[in-house]
Structure 1
Amino acid sequence: MQSLALTTAEQRRLKRLARDAKRTPQAMLRFVLRDGFDYCNYVVKSVNDGIASLTRGERRYSTDEVLKRARGATEKHGARFHKAA
């Protein structure tokens, strides 16, 4: 198994990302290795922004609205997938 050495800057970045995601640095390292720092930062920021928006009372969707949007997306993208098959 290869060893992994993070620079001091990468260690700080990992700790900051883990704090923002409310996880341990060890738990976040798996995702950083798979997806990279930039993508992980994007995902954590997007999720935290969405949670904050809901907390402020913005963007409330009923179950029916969510299901309608999900069905529309799966029909649109699923049709394209099935045509290719």
Structure 2
Amino acid sequence: MSANKKKLVAVALCVVTAALAGFVSGVGLSILGASRLASVSGGAGAFLAMGMFGLSIIGLFEFKDEDTRTPPARTQQGAPTP
């Protein structure tokens, strides 16, 4: 898998996890009796905090290609070719 695809999968997983955490915290605040505005604000804050933290952690890693193919062997100048 290429490095760009690896990073795309990591970022997508981070965004989905942050959205789930934001939704759960918003619903949790609503259940605890907070107003609608406070619930939405809490959920949005959790989403932004988790998202930015996750993306900053992903940014620290260097994604590499898994290309294990060996380059073609060079023939020496003057050597017979098969």
TM-score under structure 2 normalisation?
Answer: 0.30
Structure (1 or 2) with the larger CA radius of gyration: 2
1 or 2 for the larger relative contact order (CA 8 Å, sep ≥6)?
2
The TM-score normalised by the length of structure 1 is 0.29
Higher fraction of helix: 1
